[in-house]
Homo-oligomer: A and B are copies of this chain.
């Protein structure tokens, strides 16, 4: 009797007694009846207590309890009289572990700065809890899918001696007697070396951009998953990306239905996104955008509005493939059918999710790659090790990277990316 369990497991105790430890989220009374909203990290349940059914000590303890006090609660689990699949607890025992006095985040509205200053507490709100849970589900789905497809995790280093893409947005760190180390912006080059050992691999870790832009889609520290596969060309690369994103959707729909409900995410739209992804070439995309009224010019990158226009009317995400080589990095392989374009793709999510994946087939020819490094004015010495991967057993290969917070933002349907990472870091924020 009063077996200790978690809220998520309470349905199994229907008709029986159980005990949980957690926090009081909310409390309201209706004369001699009190309704407690309880949470323990695994879920939420309503506790009901009738004054005459409990001792005065227990009733007083409940009256005394405050928002966010930690509590231990026991009672009989029962089906909700009206709601399907909802359970509640008839409270028989109640103990305050620690009484929270004047919890700073009241039920009223707070400004974003106040909430970010109290991120360590704000995470407890129902919405933030749901986002954390979905973030975890997306991580799990990615690990699962990639292992199914034969990828293993190979962690790339954070401290790097040179930049992968550009240098203006790099964080630099004094590194013993070796000068400066730069914080990684992508592990791709390292993964291209590691596929020579394990064939298919991925990393999944924090990356850093010292970008001075303040937008709803940028963080200075965020999580990227980069995958790389030997003997995979452009077509198969797109299939892997599509497979992964559809796996993420299915996994979240299956394991996070409560969380998606809390976030008021339209799950019908997510279900529909689990369909073959559309494809447009960059050329087609620009033409379509101009027709739809965008003033984008050929050779330019897509803006946020453009991304929105391109997915309008599409249930599933849209690949934009084969971009002009001039606006893409040196390592992308030229399209053999049109050498001014590269065999790459950006994947644009539905519902305003924007770009969530970028990928490409890589140039596997050492001489060609060397030429490009020179053309870009990069220091060839820094890339000798990278060129080695083509000199010794080079082979066609491709890869892609997904921004975790971008994916979380899309699946959750939240507006601001700062809510998609537990402790956001931006140009103006380093705390808590």
Give A residues with C-beta under 8 Å from B: 6, 21-23, 40-42, 68-70, 97-98, 100-101, 103-104, 118, 120-121, 123-124, 128-129, 132-133, 135-136, 139-140, 143, 147, 150, 152-161, 171-178, 181, 183, 190, 193-200, 205-206, 208, 210, 212, 220-221, 223, 230-231, 364, 385-386, 388-396, 421-423, 425, 427-428, 430-432
Contacts and interface: CB of A to CB of B under 8 A. Distances in A.
Q: Nearest 8 pairs between A and B by C-beta? A: A41-B199, A120-B193, A385-B432, A136-B152, A123-B197, A70-B395, A70-B393, A100-B392
Contact of A422 (B41, B140, B156): B156
Nearest to A210: B176
A121 B388 contact: yes
A332 B223 CA distance: 30
A140 B139 CA distance: 12
A394 B98 contact: yes
A430 B98 contact: no
B395 A161 contact: no
A390 B98 contact: yes
A220 B159 contact: yes
A178 B171 CA distance: 14
A175 B430 contact: yes
Contact of A231 (B21, B195, B394, B396): B21
5 contacts: A42-B199, A129-B197, A129-B198, A158-B221, A172-B174
A369 to B, nearest CB: 12
A161 B103 CA distance: 24
Most chain B CB within 10 A, of A143, A153, A171, A422, is at: A422
Nearest to A191: B422
Given A159-B430, A425-B159, A427-B176, A40 B388 contact: no
Contact of A155 (B98, B101, B421): B421
A430 B159 CA distance: 7
A428 B178 contact: yes
Nearest to A405: B155
A23 to B, nearest CB: 5
A173 B183 contact: yes
A249 to B, nearest CB: 19
Given A132-B198, A173-B173, A206-B206, A190 B423 contact: yes
A178 B183 CA distance: 18
B153 A147 contact: no
A155 B422 contact: yes
Contacts of A430: 159-161, 175, 178, 181
B158 A206 contact: yes
Given A124-B197, A173-B172, A395-B98, A140 B136 contact: no
B196 A121 contact: yes
A194 B97 CA distance: 18
Most chain B CB within 10 A, of A100, A139, A158, A390, is at: A158
A386 to B, nearest CB: 8
Contacts of A197: 41, 123-124, 128-129, 132
